[in-house]
């Protein structure tokens, strides 16, 4: 390959990566938009804490359920079309949600959002494996950084937009714009419409890797990811309310959630890159311990040392996301196998994540505080650490 061909290939890869990262911005915005505006939504529609938790729980349930249809849909339609459809679902669903007049319809319109996020979450790792397989930790770190940028942007803008435009509905509507920016960027890449063949074993992979053993690893990976995701979903939904209950102003409480995204970006840009050599499990276990310390502190003293606890939780969680996303790339040697493992991980993990908002909200209604819910989350992370030791060893060079 000559210098001109190398430059063209490099430029093409940069355009693909940019389009994927802008698309990834949209995989958390619709979920994270609820937390800063949760009190306004409750006051407007008269929703209980348990019911309003469904606004983030249902997208996670959809993401878990629909993740399993990702590989066969991609096999039929190809990565290019599936990601385009996913972005349309996210953008259109977000606009519909902003217009719904009742709590039932508001919750119902999270279904297309969840479907779009699920499909996007499966297809993006497949394209990353196809184009950027040499540095799985680095590219998944960039991917999860993009997810976190979405959280930061909506955390900084949701309340000011609602104040400036007149309602939380208008802020929701504006949050649909990134999906409609990502769509033409993705279509402009003109990449091959890669189709995965979900039933055909990849050359050189032992038969056991495609049968029982693959399913076992996928399930274990899904549970490890799911326990972390339960805690993330709970904190991104109720974290602002935790700090408001501790005496913080709504603006400061919203800033705490924004700092969660900033910390995730810092962790995503450092830990996965460092983990690209050696056994990635050690990093996963260490970061889960940091996350557990943050949850314990939030339960015990959210007011006085709130930023410290959010720093620990945010950095630990921010590192765990890309570490988990890198594992399918480590443990599979072809895009089809990455898609299969990713579907297991996201399907089980996001399905479990829906328990976070649903668990913490009713416990708050029952006890009047967030302490019990946060202690349950702490216990779940301890279990997660134990299960992470059972994952297959990864040895990246």
What confidence category does residue 335 fall into, taking pLDDT thresholds of 50, 70 and 90?
low
Q: What is the pLDDT of residues 17-53, one digit of tens each?
A: 899 999 999 998 888 888 778 878 888 888 877 777 7
Can you give the pLDDT at residue 20?
Answer: 92
Q: What is the pLDDT of residues 317-334, one digit of tens each?
A: 888 888 888 888 777 666
**Distance of alpha carbon 314 from alpha carbon 115, whole angstroms:** 26
Torsion of CA 323, 324, 325, 327, to 10 degrees: 90
* 24: nearest Cα among 120, 116, 158: 120
For 10-189+211-388, CATH gives 1.20.1250.20
DSSP structure class, residue 35? G
- Percent above pLDDT 90 for the chain: 23
Can you give the pLDDT at residue 6?
Answer: 44
Can you give the pLDDT at residue 209?
Answer: 37
Tell which wins on pLDDT, 4 or 131: 131
Mean pLDDT, the chain, integer: 81
Instruction: Give backbone dihedrals phi and psi of 96, rounded to 5 degrees, phi first.
Output: -60, -40
Can you give the pLDDT at residue 84?
Answer: 94
Q: Is the pLDDT of residue 5 over 50?
A: no
Neighbours of 17 (CB within 10 A): 19
Residue 195 DSSP SS3: coil
What confidence category does residue 215 fall into, taking pLDDT thresholds of 50, 70 and 90?
low
Domain boundaries, the chain: 10-189+211-388
Neighbours of 305 (CB within 10 A): 14
Tell which wins on pLDDT, 352 or 393: 352
Q: Is the pLDDT of residue 205 over 70?
A: no
Task: Judge contact between 71 and 58, C-beta under 8 A.
Answer: no
Residues forming beta bridges with residue 396, ordered by sequence position: 278
Can you give the pLDDT at residue 353?
Answer: 84
Give the list of residues 6+ apart from residue 220 with CB closer than 8 angstroms, or none: 387, 390, 391
Q: Is the pLDDT of residue 351 over 80?
A: yes
């Amino acid at each position: 390959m000559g210098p001109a061909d190398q430059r063209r290939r490099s430029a093409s890869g940069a355009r693909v990566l940019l389009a994927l990262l802008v698309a990834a911005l949209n995989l958390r915005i619709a979920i994270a938009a609820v937390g800063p505006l949760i009190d306004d939504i409750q006051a407007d529609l008269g929703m209980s804490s348990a019911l309003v938790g469904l606004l983030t729980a249902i997208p996670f349930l959809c993401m878990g359920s629909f993740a399993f249809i990702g590989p066969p849909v991609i096999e039929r339609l190809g990565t290019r079309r599936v990601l385009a459809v996913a972005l349309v679902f996210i953008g259109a669903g977000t606009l519909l949600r902003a217009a719904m007049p009742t709590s039932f319809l508001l919750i119902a319109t999270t279904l297309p959002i969840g479907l779009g996020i699920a499909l996007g979450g499966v297809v993006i790792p497949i394209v990353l494996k196809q184009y950027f397989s040499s540095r799985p930790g680095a590219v998944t770190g960039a991917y999860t950084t993009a997810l976190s940028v979405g959280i930061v942007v909506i955390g900084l803008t949701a309340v000011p937009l609602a104040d400036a435009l007149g309602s939380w509905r208008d802020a929701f509507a504006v949050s649909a714009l990134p999906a409609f920016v990502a769509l033409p960027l993705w279509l402009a890449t003109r990449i091959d419409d890669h189709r995965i063949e979900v039933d055909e074993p990849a050359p050189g992979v032992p038969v056991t890797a495609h049968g029982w053993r693959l399913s076992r690893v996928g399930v274990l990976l899904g549970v490890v990811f799911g326990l972390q995701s339960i805690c993330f979903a709970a904190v991104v939904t109720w974290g602002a309310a935790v700090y408001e209950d501790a005496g913080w102003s709504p603006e400061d409480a919203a800033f705490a959630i924004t700092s969660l995204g900033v910390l995730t970006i810092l962790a995503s840009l450092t830990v996965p890159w460092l983990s690209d050599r050696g056994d990635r499990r050690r990093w996963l276990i260490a970061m889960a311990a940091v996350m557990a310390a943050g949850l314990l502190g939030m339960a015990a003293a959210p007011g006085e040392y709130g930023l410290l606890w959010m720093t620990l939780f945010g950095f630990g969680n921010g590192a765990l996301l890309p570490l988990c996303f890198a594992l399918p790339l480590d443990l599979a040697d072809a895009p089809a196998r990455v898609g299969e493992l990713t579907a297991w991980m996201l399907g089980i993990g996001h399905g479990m994540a829906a328990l976070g908002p649903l668990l913490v909200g009713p416990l708050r209604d029952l006890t009047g505080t967030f302490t019990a819910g946060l202690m349950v989350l702490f216990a779940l992370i301890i279990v997660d650490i134990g299960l992470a030791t059972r994952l297959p060893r990864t040895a990246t060079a």
